[in-house]
Copies of this chain bind each other. A is one copy, B any other.
Amino acid sequence: MLVEDALRLIEVRGGLGAVPGVRLAGVHAGIKPRKRDLALIAFDSAQACAAVTTTNEVKAAPVLVSAEHLALEGGAMRAVACNSGCANACTGERGDRDARATARQAAALLGVAPEQVIVASTGVIGVPLPMDRVQRGIERAHAQLEGGVKASHDAAEAIMTTDRVPKLSAYAYYVDGKKYVVGGIAKGSGMIAPNMATMLAFIATDYPMNAAALQRTLASAADESFNMISVDGDMSTNDAVYAFAPAHEQDAPTAFARALRAVCLDLARAMVADGEGATKRLTVHVTSATSTAQARTIARAVINSSLVKTALYGEDPNWGRIIAAAGAARAGLHPTAWSLSVNGTPWVAAGAVELLSEAEAHRELEESEIVVGLDLGLGEASATGWGCDLSKDYVRINASYRT
């Protein structure tokens, strides 16, 4: 029965709110005009916590403060407080104080220690948090904490910046015949790039496990999902994915690893689909690579290329840009061993031979979902990356983010 259990994976509604023992809320605190801008997440029991955060050398205050809390209470976290509308990055000592005050206030309301609270912020860099509003928002959110779809949707909305839609995903999985749930909420639509660019995700499950096992499982799932998407190649100061599970000595089961991966993939692909100004989704499957690392590097290089993205936007079958981007990655591409397909139709073979006419290829690119298959002709490893096109709207959105 164990093997069969490990394969049962059922998508459920409600994202993070579908996980037993999780209560949450998303409210309008007034950091942004009109929209929800503050989310509070509370766990009924002490949680093992894992984190994958930005590798940017400039880290926002909440990222640093949360890392400190994790080091102290990583096996016993109880809550997350997250605001949008202000990144609390490059805000000096004041930013540090504000992040700590946020954790302290949430902790006081929940009757836990400040170090048991993860804090997160997303929005404009270099502007201090309006603490009166944050505090009012936390009070309001605390009064509304509950499980379920509605609360989860509100919290997902409250962490959005330029996102057009809230992002939620949850799956039921089975261990020894017992049903568990892993669910999450995420934000991110611009400034998204490999290696954890501007995105936040909060994920939890009700299967108890230890923090080291959770960390290992999260890191592996993030490598295949959040680290394989790109909207514009930039990397933020605030990116963080946090995962929670009731604290216990036991290891993470395979079924959980599969379910967590499914949640991470759903959330990552939702970010790409919501890419700022995106009109098309791009999936790049790199196959026949010598190693997974090579396949990932090349897939990322293609989804990161501004020239590939603009050609996609223009439905221009300019495959040379794809291969120029792959070659520029200097990951060991053999210049004549590769072949290229689009949406399953062979396009270019042996590094030079066009198999589709320009008109045929152009018709393929009229689809809104484009899957580029790049066979390196070298080995047996593979990887997949997800991106989107670069449109005039991307420029419009990013030229006027603050004004």
Contacts and interface: CB of A to CB of B under 8 A. Distances in A.
Contacts of A395: 310, 313, 390-392, 394-395
B125 A321 contact: yes
A330 B89 CA distance: 17
A354 interface: yes
A387 to B, nearest CB: 13
Interface residues of A, number: 71
B402 A90 contact: no
A364 interface: no
Contacts of A233: 233, 305-306
Interface in A42-74: 55-59
B56 A398 contact: no
Greatest chain B CB density within 10 A among A124, A325, A333, A398 is at A398
A310 B317 CA distance: 26
A92 to B, nearest CB: 3
A87 interface: yes
Contacts of A234: 305-307, 321, 324-325, 328
A110 interface: no
A352 interface: yes
Contacts of A87: 320
Contact of A232 (B307, B324, B354, B392): B307
A350 to B, nearest CB: 7
A92 B126 contact: no
A368 B355 CA distance: 46
B237 A58 contact: no
Q: How many monomers of this protein are in the complex?
A: 2
A403 interface: yes
Nearest to A325: B234
A90 B325 contact: no
Nearest to A327: B58
Given A313-B399, A332-B57, A335-B59, A90 B307 contact: no
Contacts of A396: 392
Contacts of A125: 318-321, 323-324
A145 interface: no
Contact of A324 (B95, B237, B314): B237
A306 B57 CA distance: 19
Greatest chain B CB density within 10 A among A329, A331, A352 is at A352
Greatest chain B CB density within 10 A among A57, A233, A311 is at A57
A306 B126 contact: no
Contacts of A190: 307
A201 interface: no
Interface in A228-263: 232-237
24 contacts: A55-B328, A55-B330, A56-B324, A57-B327, A57-B330, A57-B332, A58-B324, A58-B335, A59-B327, A90-B351, A92-B350, A94-B352, A125-B318, A232-B306, A232-B307, A236-B324, A310-B398, A311-B398, A314-B400, A314-B403, A316-B401, A392-B392, A392-B395, A395-B395
Given A126-B352, A318-B401, 11 more contacts: A55-B330, A56-B330, A57-B334, A91-B352, A126-B320, A234-B305, A234-B324, A310-B394, A313-B395, A362-B403, A395-B395
